Amino acid sequence: MSPRHRMSHKFHIGQIVEFRPKKGSPISAARGAYEILKQLPEQDGELQYRIKSAREEHERIALESELEYPESELSDTPAFEAALADLFLGPDEGLGVFVPGADEGIHMLL
């Protein structure tokens, strides 16, 4: 691939990912989190990474298609919550708190 058409890595160094070897692969890997140690060049049209699990002594090379974001990383971050707020409210609207009253309907507190 020419330098002008280089692929960009989806994951960055230091990021925690889950390793899911391709079905039918003879690889026996520890379950759980892996850390991205290095971004490697593509091979056969797919980007690669050097990864390491705290449960294993050795490092591995994984294809980008074998790595996934951990579920908790997607939803348990302030950045994710801010992105949701921007998506539903717009970047300058902020969040309000709704408090339903028994006889008074709904009031909004800012």
Q: What is the pLDDT of residue 50?
A: 98
User: Judging by beta carbons within 10 Å of its beta carbon (0-12, 13-18, 19+), is residue 34 exposed, middle or buried?
Assistant: buried
> Does residue 100 or residue 51 have the better pLDDT?
51
**In sequence order, what E strands does 30-83 have?**
33-43, 46-53, 59-63, 67-68
> Does residue 30 or residue 18 have the better pLDDT?
18
Question: What is this structure's pTM?
Answer: 0.59
Q: How far is it, in rounded angstroms, from Cα 95 to Cα 87? A: 12
Q: Is 101 helix (H, G, I), strand (E, B) or coil?
A: strand
Per-residue pLDDT tens for 45-97?
999 999 999 999 999 999 999 999 987 655 555 555 665 565 555 555 555 55
- Taken in order of first residue, the domains within the chain and their CATH numbers are 1-70 (2.30.30), 77-110 (no CATH)
Tokens read off for 18: 């889950």
